[in-house]
Each structure stands twice: as structure tokens, then as C-alpha cells.
């Protein structure tokens, strides 16, 4: 009944890449359905692994470049040249991601996107006509100021001195001199693949929503929020193209506000899945599935706000395919993600975060096996007739000629509704 299984997970932050998650899930599927055809589609959302995945999907190549990391030290970064030869993919996480920020240095008021600007310059050196910047998994909250500084913009205080790096510095910003921006930017199409729900300023601005995840104290959150308000004001006045809403525009808060900084240069901020997933032919592959399995680190009320499992489920439901979602943790709202028929936590018992991260691959494989065995068991249970009486052989007998005529022509899909409630293990 389950001949074709699509495995389309996101990565688990600071634990498993999307590719590693897909492999772990596939191993669990094979324990239960050894003969199933498994289509692995590790999905990227603009964050870690985006450049590698798109280079592989298009027959392109990775270009390695030394660049300035989020804490100011040089790191080995990369960007992708797609198979078409005219498009570069700059993955901001490859040079300014949270995984590159040591735990004892996690201060989003100090980290910088300077290296993102350096990767854009390196892509321009390749003569491309289009640059796609993938946003996600950032360790920064500087509004893209560092990227603009690398591209030639001068950020000046009230006395005309240039600011240092980091979002905290933006509280002193008085004026932006954009006269030295790299002129080649005018000749390329700059696209930003981002989560449109993320905005730069306000109560749902990036400093308040994501600052604590990046190490900010409550006091630092307010300080950084005020600095980004000033950044939005000066950037709009001195640089931005007319009628650009840098405070509350969709996607302006992507990657700690990198979206706003690039939008000021005329970049198009686009929903990330519309930009990224077409390269993977996802819809066609979902349509062929008997079961779709997706996964991410945490499944909760934020999942429908631009996360991979929600997008996979939405697209799978266009073809009426059942969807199982696996997650490291199941939070409030996990059972209410539209399109997800069943969700299952991967932890079999409470354990330390460090242990869970270390064992993530094995835990994911084991959880996949457990969930699939429940699904297979559900397909074997007798149906219940109206009135509560279970079907019997006599009730279900059909003349041979009728049975042959009415036999389904395609494999039946598993009914996963019986596992819809989330696991009690948190």
C-alpha cells in the first residue's frame, strides 16, 4: 500500500543538515518497508545547505572564498554558480550563520553581515547577471549594515566618523554615503529568498522575535530594536529606492534585517519557497507519492509561518497526499499545522539537549520506524460500519466479476489520521 515514499525534511539546526535528516528518515523507512521506492528531497529554506543543494540540483559548482565571519574573523565561505552559468547563490549562513558564532560570543548586537557583502562582490567578479541571496539560520542582527559596508557604503556618525561593525553601532548612525557603492550592482538582478513573515521593526521586529535566540538579553533586545529603528529611518532617507517600506515590509527582517539592507539597494524580496523549490521539481515528485514524510527541529505554532514542513504539507495536499511530520520537539500548535495528517516527536524519553543533538540521526531513524509501524498497523485494522458493527467477511463479499471491475487501479493511500495527536513525549 505504501510503494512510493517521498522524504522531504528541513535540516535540524546545529544538529543535522537536510541531507543527513533525509538519510536518517530513509533508514527508518527501510526497516518497515524494505521494498518501497524512496525519493529523497532534502529541502532548503535559504539557510544552511542552500548553496550546496542548488549547485547539485542544477549541475552547478561551489566557489570557495575566504570572507569575514560574523565575529570578525576570516572564515572559509562559499557561494554557488548554478548550472545555467548566469546565476550565483549567496547563502548568508555560509558566512554569517549562527553556527559560526561561538556560544560564548553570541551577542547579536556585535555580529556582522560584512562577509555577505564580500560574497556578493566575489559573485560579481564571476560576471553573473543574477545573484540570489538565501536568508536563514543567521547569527546576526545588523540590518544588513555590514553587507552594505563591504559593498562600499560609508556609515557615518554625527561627527562624520565611520561606524564599526555590528547592529549596536547603528544607534549612532547619522548619515550614509552611498557614492562608493560598487557600480556593478546596477547591472545585476538581486533577489533575496526570505521568509516574508519576518519584518525589521515593531513589536514583531527581528530584535524582539529572534534576538533572544541569538544570545541577546532583554536589555540588549531593546537596545538593538532602537538601533534598527534608527537604521530604517536613515537607510530610507539616504539610500532606499522610493516607496520602499524598510520597517514593516514583507521580508525586511530576514536574517537579522539583511532583507532590509539589500532591499534598500533595489533587491527584490521574494518568498523563499517560490524561489528555491522550483529548482527541485518538488510538486511533480510529491504528486507521485503514496506517503510524504517531512521533518524539522521543532514543530509548533510558528511552523505555518514559512517553515519547510508547512510548505511541504501545503503542496502535498494539492495532490491529496498524506503527510507525516517528525520533529525534535512538539510544541503548542504542532497538531494544527495545515496539511499535516500526523506528527511525531523523535525523543523516546527526556534527555539533555547535548545528548539529543549528538544522537539526532539515530533518534530520527528510530522515530521514523515507530511512526511507520503505527501507520502500517492502522491500515490493517478492520473498518467499522455505520452503527458500530465491524465488517465481516460475509458483509464484504463481492461477486468476483464486480470485484474485478471495481478494483482500484492505483495503490491505496495509508490513513494516517489515527496518529494525528502529537506524542506526549516533549
**How far is CA 195 from its chain centroid?**
8
**317 closest CA partner among 297, 338, 300, 339:** 339
pLDDT one-digit tens code per residue, 274-296:
888 877 889 999 999 999 999 99
User: Would you tell me the crossing angle of helices 218-238 and 254-263 to the nearest 10 degrees?
Assistant: 10
Per-residue pLDDT of the chain (426 residues; tens, 9 = 90+): 789 999 999 988 778 888 999 999 999 999 999 999 999 999 988 888 899 989 988 899 999 999 999 999 999 999 999 998 999 999 999 999 999 999 999 999 999 999 999 999 999 999 999 999 999 899 999 999 999 999 999 999 999 999 999 999 999 999 999 999 999 999 999 999 999 999 999 999 999 999 998 999 999 999 999 999 999 999 999 998 888 999 999 999 999 999 999 999 999 999 998 888 877 889 999 999 999 999 999 999 989 988 999 999 999 999 999 999 999 999 999 999 999 999 999 999 989 988 998 999 999 999 999 999 999 998 887 766 555 555 544 444 434 333 333 333 433 433 333 333 333 332
CA–CA gap between residue 95 and residue 71 (Å, rounded): 10
Element (H, E) at 68: strand 61-68
Q: What is the pLDDT of residue 420?
A: 37
Element (H, E) at 296: strand 291-299
Q: CB burial class (10 A; 0-12, 13-18, 19+) of residue 103?
A: exposed
**Burial track 350-384 (b if 16+ CB lie within 10 A, e otherwise):** eeeeeebbeebbebbbbbbbbbbebbeeeeeeeee
Sheet holding 323-330, edge to edge: 37-40, 4-7, 291-299, 323-330, 342-345
HSE value, Cβ hemisphere, 13 Å, CA-based, for 22? 18
Q: What is the pLDDT of residue 382?
A: 77
Written as nine digits, the cell of 389 is 458493527
pLDDT one-digit tens code per residue, 165-189:
999 999 999 999 999 999 999 999 9
Contact status, residue 172 vs residue 129, Cβ threshold 8 Å? no
In 16-144, alpha helices (H): 18-32, 50-58, 93-96, 114-125
CA–CA gap between residue 267 and residue 302 (Å, rounded): 26
**How far is CA 190 from its chain centroid?**
20
Q: What are phi and psi of 394, to 5 degrees?
A: -65, -40
Q: What DSSP string describes 2-20?
A: --EEEE-PPPBTTTB-HHH
Written as nine digits, the cell of 232 is 530604517
**206 closest CA partner among 249, 176, 151:** 249
Q: What is the pLDDT of residue 277?
A: 80
CA–CA gap between residue 146 and residue 116 (Å, rounded): 8
Q: CA-CA distances (angstroms) from residue 231 to 112, 157, 191, 262, 322?
A: 14, 12, 21, 13, 45
Sheet holding 74-81, edge to edge: 61-68, 74-81, 87-91, 130-134, 189-194, 268-271
Written as nine digits, the cell of 171 is 544607534
CA–CA gap between residue 219 and residue 207 (Å, rounded): 11
Amino acid at each position: 500500500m505504501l510503494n512510493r515514499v517521498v522524504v522531504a525534511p528541513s535540516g535540524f539546526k546545529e544538529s543535522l543538515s537536510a541531507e543527513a535528516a533525509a538519510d536518517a528518515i530513509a533508514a527508518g523507512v527501510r526497516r518497515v518497508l524494505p521494498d518501497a521506492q524512496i525519493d529523497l528531497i532534502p529541502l532548503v529554506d535559504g539557510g544552511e545547505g542552500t548553496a550546496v543543494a542548488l549547485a547539485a540540483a542544477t549541475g552547478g559548482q561551489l566557489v570557495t572564498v575566504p570572507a569575514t565571519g560574523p565575529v570578525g574573523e576570516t572564515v572559509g565561505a562559499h557561494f554557488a554558480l548554478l548550472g545555467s552559468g548566469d546565476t550565483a547563490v549567496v547563502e548568508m549562513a555560509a558566512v554569517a550563520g549562527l553556527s559560526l558564532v561561538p556560544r560564548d560570543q553570541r551577542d547579536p548586537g556585535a555580529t556582522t553581515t560584512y562577509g555577505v557583502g564580500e560574497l556578493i562582490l566575489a559573485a560579481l567578479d564571476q560576471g553573473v547577471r543574477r545573484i540570489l541571496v538565501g536568508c536563514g539560520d543567521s547569527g546576526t542582527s545588523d540590518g544588513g549594515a555590514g553587507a552594505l559596508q563591504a559593498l562600499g557604503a560609508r556609515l557615518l556618525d554625527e561627527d562624520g566618523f565611520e561606524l564599526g561593525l555590528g547592529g549596536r553601532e547603528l544607534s549612532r548612525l547619522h548619515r550614509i554615503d552611498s557614492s562608493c557603492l560598487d557600480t556593478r550592482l546596477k547591472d545585476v538582478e538581486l533577489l533575496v529568498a526570505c521568509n516574508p513573515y519576518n519584518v525589521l521593526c515593531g513589536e514583531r521586529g527581528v530584535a524582539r522575535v529572534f534576538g533572544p535566540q541569538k544570545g541577546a538579553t532583554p536589555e540588549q533586545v531593546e537596545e538593538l530594536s532602537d538601533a534598527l529603528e534608527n537604521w530604517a529611518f536613515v537607510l530610507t532617507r539616504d539610500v532606499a529606492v522610493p516607496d520602499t517600506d524598510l520597517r514593516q515590509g514583507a521580508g525586511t527582517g530576514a536574517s537579522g534585517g539583511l532583507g532590509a539592507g539589500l532591499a534598500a539597494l533595489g533587491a527584490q524580496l521574494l518568498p523563499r519557497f517560490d524561489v528555491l523549490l522550483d529548482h527541485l521539481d518538488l510538486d511533480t515528485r510529491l504528486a507521485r507519492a503514496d506517503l510524504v514524510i517531512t521533518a524539522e527541529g521543532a514543530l509548533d505554532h510558528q511552523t505555518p509561518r514559512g517553515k519547510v514542513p508547512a510548505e511541504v504539507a501545503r503542496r502535498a495536499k494539492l495532490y491529496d497526499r498524506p503527510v507525516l511530520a517528525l520533529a525534535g520537539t512538539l510544541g503548542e500548535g504542532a497538531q494544527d499545522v495545515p496539511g499535516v495528517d500526523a506528527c511525531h516527536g523523535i525523543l523516546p524519553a527526556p534527555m539533555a539537549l547535548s545528548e539529543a543533538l549528538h544522537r539526532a540521526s539515530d533518534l530520527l531513524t528510530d522515530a521514523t520506524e515507530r511512526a511507520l509501524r503505527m501507520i502500517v498497523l492502522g491500515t490493517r485494522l478492520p473498518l467499522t460500519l455505520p452503527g458500530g458493527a465491524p465488517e465481516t467477511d460475509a458483509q464484504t463479499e463481492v461477486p468476483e466479476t464486480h470485484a474485478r471491475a471495481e478494483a482500484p487501479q492505483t495503490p491505496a493511500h495509508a490513513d494516517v489520521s489515527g496518529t494525528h495527536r502529537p506524542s506526549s513525549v516533549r
